[in-house]
Amino acid sequence: MLRVRGKRFLIFTGGDLGLWALDDIQAEDCNIGVDRGTLFLLQNNIAVDYALGDFDSVTSEEFAEIRLMCKELNSCDPVNKDYSDTEMAVNWALTKKPSEIVILGAVGSRVDHTLANIHLLRKCLREGIACRIAGEKNEIYLVDKSLSVSSGHFTYVSVLPLTLRVAGVTLEGFQYPLNRATLHLGQSIGLSNKITEKKGRISVESGQLLVIKSKD
């Protein structure tokens, strides 16, 4: 059995993936393939520690390769299931008590799937496990206490409430700082800020705040 407690878990979904996604992989990571995300890893010669999903987006030949090459495989029925493949992968990862979960390829053309994946950040936050969604043009966090972020190769940093009200929002090291502000769901005041120091510091007194790094 794979020893995974305390490792970073990288979940490669069946959404928009590219070579950019390989840059996040470190030697000691546990790589999880979700549906077609499993094939992406294998095609790029990345070992898959655990593969999960209904695999309705791969051919029978591709699924045969997945079954042969993956260390562990959990295949489910594409109809008789209550959760998305990505949520099942996150649920499984949480039981292993990783140090961090990174979900890759979770932002794509399907807005419903993108929103559902963003909502998974709440589940990880509730379990006290650090989690972020990583994409080519976006990186998404959820914070209810504090977070230190660098801009990296991203241009903007936006903060948006995920709960009805987020109180005590303080932004330091940003072009547009805030000091214990209250943000309400539906407001756009937190859009398109920029980090002006080496790192930006975000703190929240109550509520849950999405932090989205993005570039065009």
> 31 and 93: one domain?
yes
- Are 76 and 17 part of one and the same domain? yes
Domain ends where: 91, 116, 136?
A: 136
| Least reliable range by pLDDT among 7-11, 12-16, 36-40 | 12-16
Average the pLDDT over 61-86 and give the result.
Answer: 81
Tokens of 105: 């390829």
Count of domains in the chain?
2
Round to whole Å and give the CA distance between 34 and 178.
Answer: 39
Which pLDDT value is given to residue 1? Answer: 44
pLDDT digits (tens, 9 = 90+) for 76-115: 766 556 788 899 999 999 999 999 999 999 988 889 989 9
Question: Can you point out the beta strands (E) in 19-173?
Answer: 30-34, 50-53, 73-75, 100-104, 130-134, 138-143, 146-149, 156-161, 165-172
**What pLDDT sits at residue 79?**
57
Most confident of 23-32, 59-68, 119-128: 119-128
Q: Do 126 and 147 belong to one domain?
A: no
- 84 and 150: one domain? no
Of residues 5 and 103, more confidence is placed in 103
C-beta separation of 173 from 199 below 8 A:
yes
What is the value of pTM for the model shown?
Answer: 0.91
Residue 14: pLDDT band (50, 70, 90) is confident
149 CB-near residues (< 8 Å, 6+ apart): 141, 157, 195, 199, 200, 202, 211, 213
Domain that holds residue 192: 143-214
Angle between helices 85-95 and 111-126 (to 10 degrees): 10
For residue 3, what pLDDT is reported? 55
Asked if the model's pLDDT at residue 62 lies above 80, the reply is yes
Point out the least confidently predicted range of 15-24, 65-74, 195-204.
Answer: 65-74
- CA 117 to chain CA centroid, nearest Å: 7
* Strands of 73-75's sheet in order across: 73-75, 50-53, 30-34, 8-12, 100-104, 130-134, 138-143, 209-214, 156-161
Range of lowest pLDDT (11-20, 74-83, 172-181):
74-83
Which of 154, 159, 149 is CA-nearest to residue 204?
159
The one-letter amino acid code at 175 reads: Q
Backbone dihedral angles phi then psi of residue 104, each to the nearest 5 degrees: -110, 140
**Are residue 97 and residue 163 in the same domain, yes or no?**
no
Residue 208 placed within a domain: yes
